[in-house]
Amino acid sequence: MLADALVRELLEARLIGLLATHDTRMSIHAVPLWYALHEDRVLLATGSRSRKVRNLESDSRATFVVHDSRPGFEVCGAAISGEVEIVRGSEALELVDLVHARYVAEGANEDPAVHAFLTSDDVALCLRPVTAFTWDERGSAANEALRARRKALPLVGTEPRREGSRQPIL
């Protein structure tokens, strides 16, 4: 799965992924997470008391979705399914650090609030992909038509979070 060019492109990009686990209440629990590609696994960092960890203790199957979506049909992504190993202790902390290093600049944890947030991640989730489903409309005729005619409406982000200052995502 990780040899697929699009899967690799997305996992090497600094994006936010969505982990879906089977909830013990017979529903799907889906949450956004930081991730890192490491050897033949997708690493995720989380807290040991999280619902996703409890779900994975009962059922190790999960799907991780990562996508890069822009206005119009400028979208691509992958849904990667497999088994998740829960890693705890000192071995977990090394893996968690690999995930954090992709998203937070060196020295950022000197701030007490940042340090507290990062140290709450004491478990590494290691997804071993079994299957992947991908989509890529970036080169489609429909996307080219929207782009050429400037007819794709911008996505609207939530940052900065000040009243009346919503910025389009281009």
pLDDT tens per residue across span 48-104 = 999 999 999 999 999 999 999 989 899 999 999 999 999 999 999 999 999 999 999
Q: How many residues are recorded in the chain?
A: 170
Question: Above pLDDT 70, what percent of the chain?
Answer: 94
Q: What is the pLDDT of residues 141-152, one digit of tens each?
A: 999 999 999 999
Task: Report whether the peptide linkage leading into residue 32 is cis, meaning its omega lies within 30 degrees of zero.
Answer: no
What value does the mean pLDDT of the chain take? 92
Q: Mean pLDDT, to the nearest integer, of 116-132? A: 96
**What's the pLDDT at 35?**
98
Tokens 């960890």 -> residue: 53
The span from the CA of 162 to the CA of 140, in Å, is 36
Kindly report the pTM of this predicted structure. 0.89
Q: CB within 8 A of 9, min separation 6: which ones?
A: 76
CATH H-level superfamily of 5-169: Electron Transport, Fmn-binding Protein; Chain A (2.30.110.10)
Q: What is the pLDDT of residues 153-165, one digit of tens each?
A: 988 888 766 555 5
**What's the pLDDT at 158?**
81
* Three-class secondary structure of residue 66 per DSSP: strand
